[in-house]
């Protein structure tokens, strides 16, 4: 069972806004930065958001991250067919001295 909790699925039509939640505790999200990764089947995962809300070069500004207390969220504005993928949140876990991941949220574009 993951230490970070994500909904297993989310969906939207093209152009819609989709928001994915990630719930943790004071020992991970509450005291550390949050990262988001995008994973398409058969490909290498891709860093989408780092340090809560920063986008690496090349990531469209349709993707945004936020954090409040022990929860974080990833929003995709203007949903596109190529956004159909699984999205994972991650944060450092103090008790394990390493990062933990959420179980992943599969986004479907209807």
Partner 1 sequence: QVQLVQSGDEVKKPGASVKVSCKTSGYTFTSYGVSWLRQAPGQGLEWLGWISGYSGDTNYAQRLQDRVTMTTDTATSTAFMELRSLKSDDTAVYYCARAGYDVLTGYTFDFWGPGSLVTVSS
Contact footprint for partner 1 (CB under 8 A): 2, 32-33, 35, 37, 39, 43-47, 50-51, 56, 88, 90-92, 96-104
DSSP category for residue 54: B
Three-class SS state of 68: strand
Of 59 and 77, which has the nearer Cβ to partner 1? 59
The number of C-alpha atoms within 13 Å of 3 and in the hemisphere containing its C-beta is 18
Closest distance to partner 1 from the beta carbon of 13 (Å):
26
Instruction: Name the minimum Å distance from CB 87 to partner 1.
Output: 11
Beta carbon nearer to partner 1, 16 or 108 = 108
| Cα→Cα distances 84→23, 46, 69, 92, Å | 22, 13, 28, 26
Residue 14: CB minimum distance to partner 1, A: 27
Closest distance between partner 1 and the C-beta of residue 97, in Å?
7
Measured distance CA(26)–CA(67) in Å, rounded: 12
Closer residue to partner 1, CB minimum distance, 90 or 109: 90
Of 67, 92, 75, residue with least CA distance to 16: 75
């Amino acid at each position: 069972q993951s230490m970070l909790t994500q909904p297993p699925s989310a969906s939207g039509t093209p152009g819609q806004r989709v928001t994915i939640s990630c719930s943790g505790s004071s020992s991970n999200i509450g005291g550390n930065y949050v990262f988001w990764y995008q994973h398409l089947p058969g490909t290498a995962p891709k860093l989408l958001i780092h340090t809560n809300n920063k986008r690496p070069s090349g990531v469209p500004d349709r993707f945004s991250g936020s954090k409040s207390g022990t929860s974080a969220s990833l929003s995709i504005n203007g949903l596109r067919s190529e956004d159909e993928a699984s999205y994972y949140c991650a944060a450092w876990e103090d008790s394990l001295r390493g990062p933990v991941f959420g179980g992943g949220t599969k986004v479907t574009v209807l």
